[in-house]
Amino acid sequence: MQKHRIGLVGTGFIARGLLLLLSSMPDMEVTAVLTRRKLNECTEVPLPHVLTNSIQELLAKSDLIVECSGDVIHATGVIAKAMEAALPVVTMDAELQVTTGSFFVSKGYITEAEGDQPGCLAALKANVESMGFKPLVYGNIKGFLNLNPPLEDMLYWGKRSGISLQMVTSFTDGTKVQIEQALVANGLGTGIAKDGLLGTAAEDLQEGAEVLAAEAKRLGKPIADYLLSAKSPPGVFITAEHDERQKDALAYFKMGKGPFYTLLQPYHLCHLEVVKTIRRTLLGEAPLLNNSASPKISVAAVAKRALTPGTVIKKGIGSFDVRGIAVDIAANPNHIPIGLLSYAVVKEHIEPGQILQFRDVDIPDSLASLAWQDIMKKN
């Protein structure tokens, strides 16, 4: 059997887990893993012989690229090269998708994978709609948030969880869920209830989901949002309506009395689910989810603390300077997407809670910045 050659971008938690999983697949093999680190320093990476610092080697040895570096600036450049080589791209990188993913939609094949919440919601949507449900809420579940967590806590939880400081901070301060639901809104053609999302707090999943569904009905459109619910499982849900004539059947199926019905997937298994999307891509199926060619929602950078001129924001996502909130692009045309903040220099005094504007910060030139400008011109 000839194996499909899979190239990975990144050597973090997701990439390492996926590398291990794919090494056990009879029809696939990881032939190259792109890293910017010195190869002899990547001691935690399984199968070190596939590591490379060369993008060209990655492309030459791959039939499909999986991007999971979590670095928007770097990933944008790699994906551009993959598109030039006519290689399909699967991402586990919602940060990339909501910043520059729309730039690539017309240039080649790009899809977000199942595993993270957006991909899981896209797959769940197809399932519930096939049963006649009409979604109102595409929901993410968070157990805990601290919008401005202290460094000491993040160092502790990062070490305990085996993930990077940047990653654990973006999870805790809400940036990650805002990014995920912005991707859901753009990719599935929904709206958001307000900038920053509702983030309804609820002990009971069904009760919280019904609050969100009622708001979607009031707005007259489906929404992407999340519940803050410590007792609920770490998965995704869709709250939907159905044909009134199915009311008795749905009650018999223990779905409740309606009119809102919540369908829960009580898990998302990150890299373990990526294989499903790789397979559908290799089969030539349509992308599961991308940010769309004309996104309506972005994730703006909001100051966590007072920022003075000369401050260098080394990386926006997962920083202690800013966090991200989902915003309507039309209402916030000059906001800086948090994914573009990489070694950016503050020019103006910025107050805590203020949305950063392009006039406030100098951003280094990059393909990612040019891609964002291109997206806005076409939007």
| Residue 291 belongs to a domain | no
Per-residue pLDDT band at 178 (split at 50, 70, 90): very high
Pair (131, 224) in one structural domain: yes
Q: How confident is the model at residue 379 (pLDDT cuts 50, 70, 90)?
A: confident
Q: What is the rounded average pLDDT of the residues 127-134?
A: 98
Same domain, 302 and 366: yes
Whether residues 61 and 200 fall in one domain:
no
- Asked if residue 80 belongs to a domain, the reply is yes
User: Does a structural domain hold residue 194?
Assistant: yes
- Do 192 and 206 fall within a single domain? yes
* Residue 330, domain CATH: 3.90.1210.10
Confidence of residue 162 (pLDDT cuts 50, 70, 90): confident
| Predicted confidence band of residue 316 (pLDDT cuts 50, 70, 90) | very high
Regarding whether 121 and 261 lie in a shared domain, the answer is yes
**Full residue range of the structural domain in which residue 52 is found:** 4-115+271-282
62, 76: one domain: yes
- Phi, psi at residue 312, to the nearest 5°? -100, 120
pLDDT tens profile 98-116 = 999 999 999 999 999 999 9
CA angle, 74 then 78 then 80, to 5°: 120
Residue 72 belongs to a domain = yes
Residues 110 and 121 in one domain: no
* Residues 251 and 373 both lie in one domain: no
| CA atoms of 137 and 226, how far apart (whole Å) | 9
**Averaged over 363-373, what is the pLDDT?**
97
Helix/strand/coil (H/E/C) assignment for every residue in the chain: CCCEEEEEECCCHHHHHHHHHHCCCCCEEEEEEECCCCHHHCCCCCCHHHEECCHHHHHHCCCEEEECCCCHHHHHHHHHHHHHCCCCEEECCHHHHHHHHHHHCCCCCEEECECEHHHHHHHHHHHHHHCCCEEEEEEEEECCCCCCCCHHHHHHHHHHHCCCHHHHHHHHCCHHHHHHHHHHHHHHCCECCCCCCCCEECCCHHHHHHHHHHHHHHHCCCEEEEEECCCCCCCEEEEEECCHHHHHHHHHCCCCCCCCEEEEECCCCCHHHHHHHHHHHHCCCCCCCCCCCCCCEEEEEEECCCECCCCEEEECCCCCCEEEEEEECCCCCCECEHHHCEEEEECCCECCCCECEHHHEECCCCHHHHHHHHHHHHC
| Residue of 268, 272, 274 whose CA lies nearest to 64 | 274
19 pLDDT band, cuts 50/70/90, is: very high
The verdict on residue 171 lying in a domain is: yes
C-beta of residue 139 within 8 angstroms of C-beta of residue 226: yes
Q: Work out the pLDDT band at 169, boundaries 50, 70, 90.
A: very high
- Looking at the fold, whether 50 and 147 belong to one and the same domain comes out as no
Kindly tell me if the per-residue pLDDT of 378 is higher than 90. Answer: no
Q: Supply the mean pLDDT for the chain.
A: 96
Q: Is residue 288 part of a domain?
A: no
Mean pLDDT over 40-62 rounds to: 96
Whether 22 and 99 share a structural domain: yes
Question: pTM here?
Answer: 0.97
In a domain, 292, yes or no: no
Q: Report the distance separating Cα 183 and Cα 172, nearest Å.
A: 19
Residue 9 domain-assigned? Answer: yes
* Structural domain total, the chain: 3
Q: What is the mean pLDDT of residues 129-146?
A: 97
In this prediction, residue 222 has a pLDDT band, given cuts at 50, 70 and 90, of very high
- pLDDT 10s digits, 258-298: 999 999 999 999 999 999 999 999 999 999 999 999 999 99
